[in-house]
Structure 1
């Protein structure tokens, strides 16, 4: 049997955790999926999957082989991409998901600029405050801000997300600028309902400092958090990609600048390196160039 196809079947099963979904994705029968997997295990000389009626998991050998199979398929796809896409114009529709704040502040403009270069590519931009399911929601690409990624998906780093602890000038005029990290206990906070919530982690002189926050107003939406901080409700932790202009114009003031909040990675995530439409590959490259570099573009005149 074709070993390249067997590797493709194995990776699909590992990523989807389902023989049924793999068969549908590769347009083959479940019996053929089983035969390719058996052939793969025969070539490797080890069992690659634990199969029960409820779930499919990788064995230790399967974990070791998975990375090599992905590299093999990526190389094969690169060859196909070079040979077949030299003169093709990208087209089709991409479903892209991210948080509402990143979409509003950065991604929407980037997508519009991308479409100016590739007018035949349609983009459906979906926003959600929690990670979407790439399979169930049929997402081609998601931009996620996190330091904890699902190992079953492919991630391409785009930039770092820095945050600032900040407040409005009116709030600081009334309650005072905190003189040190201990003084935060006396201040009110506007906090996120999930994620870090009422607990922040800072880096200071090479060490990590954990600080509880006295949350008085909670929200699951970054835009509401920003609006409450601007209105003087208290201190808030906000990403620089979203409040850069507020900081530059003085509408918000950074608090305890020597204490750097823990940065998060901004990643483009997708299900597989294989069978990527040309439009998706070009969008990945465009976003990596747009947001990449040692310092994210929205931070370059703030450091």
Structure 2
């Protein structure tokens, strides 16, 4: 029996949580899924999955084997792609992870453009702001905003994310307008909880300034903070790409226009440079070009 296909079946069963779901995705029968799993277990010489009527879980051997199976499938895809003719273009499925705000505000329409340009590709977007083990999670690309990138990661900087400080007209009418960064310490500031103690960094008027801010609401999702700011809860510092529509509509007002909040690098993180799929390489180049062409991401 095809061991590569058996490996693919095993990974799909784990990722989709059941043999039935894997069979539907692979367009094969459930009985064939069971045969492939049995064949793979026979080849390995150990049981890989605990199967019950209610749930499916990995054995210790299965848990140890899973990342090797993912790497095997990645290598097989790279070998297949190497033989493609240059004019055929990239193909295959890419699994991407990024934050919800970035996916909704910017990435989604750009992916639609990419998929129209390369119709033999497909993309699966996983919403997450947490660090992942790319190989174990079967992720081809993680898009992250940070200035503290782990030097051990394989990454490429695609652009720069600028931020703005803003609040609703109602809040400003009630609490006053901050004219200098240090005045933010007296306001209710809505903070991003992943960053721990909130210190906002600014550069402008020939100097740099750090301001320790506090408030009664924090979140690990920028959308929550933006909606709270629109509702008049306080002042927030948000990525320009997320706040731009609300600033344009007048629902939020930009503060401290002569002071630039600290920007963040936009990084593409992936498993390997040596075994990069053509589809992944073309997507990285496409995203980098779109970021370079979009005024939201230009230097201010």
TM-score norm. by structure 1 comes to 0.69
SS at match of 1:136: helix
Q: Are the counterparts in 1 of residues 161 and 297 from structure 2 also a CA contact under 8 Å?
A: no
Match of 1:155 in 2: 155
The Cα of 1:130 is off from its aligned counterpart by 1.9
Distance 1:245 1:236 in 2: 15
SS at match of 1:229: helix
The Cα of 1:292 is off from its aligned counterpart by 2.0
Match of 2:228 in 1: 228
Q: Deviations over 1:42-94 (max 9, x none)?
A: xxxxxxxxxxxxxxxxxxxxxxxxxxxxxxxxxxx9xx96x854123322111
Match of 2:251 in 1: 251
The 5-angstrom pairing of residues 259-270 of structure 1 reads 259-270=259-270
The Cα of 1:249 is off from its aligned counterpart by 2.2
The 5-angstrom pairing of residues 130-209 of structure 1 reads 130-195=130-195, 197-209=197-209
Residue 86 (1) aligns with residue 98 (2):
no
Match of 2:103 in 1: 103
CA-based RMSD of the aligned residues comes to 2.6
Check 1:213–1:99 CA distance in 2 against 1; reply closer, same or farther (3 A cut): same
Q: Deviations over 1:188-242 (max 9, x none)?
A: 1111111265221111234331101122111111110000000000000110011
Where in structure 2 are there 5+ consecutive unaligned residues?
1-64, 73-77
Where in structure 1 are there 5+ consecutive unaligned residues?
1-19, 28-76
TM-score norm. by structure 2 comes to 0.70
Match of 1:297 in 2: 295
Distance 2:285 2:254 in 1: 33
Check 1:291–1:85 CA distance in 2 against 1; reply closer, same or farther (3 A cut): farther
Q: Are the counterparts in 2 of residues 100 and 127 from structure 1 also a CA contact under 8 Å?
A: yes
Match of 1:36 in 2: none
Distance 1:182 1:134 in 2: 41
Residue 242 (1) aligns with residue 277 (2):
no
Alignment length (residue pairs): 230
The Cα of 1:297 is off from its aligned counterpart by 3.0
Distance 2:197 2:102 in 1: 19
SS at match of 2:160: strand
The 5-angstrom pairing of residues 6-85 of structure 1 reads 85=85
The Cα of 1:299 is off from its aligned counterpart by 4.6
Match of 1:212 in 2: 212
Q: Are the counterparts in 2 of residues 146 and 265 from structure 1 also a CA contact under 8 Å?
A: yes
Q: Are the counterparts in 2 of residues 102 and 242 from structure 1 also a CA contact under 8 Å?
A: yes
Distance 1:240 1:197 in 2: 22
- Structure 1 segments, 4+ long, off by >6 Å, are 20-27
Distance 1:193 1:155 in 2: 25
Distance 1:253 1:148 in 2: 30
Q: Are the counterparts in 2 of residues 162 and 263 from structure 1 also a CA contact under 8 Å?
A: yes
Q: Are the counterparts in 1 of residues 187 and 215 from structure 2 also a CA contact under 8 Å?
A: no
SS at match of 2:208: strand
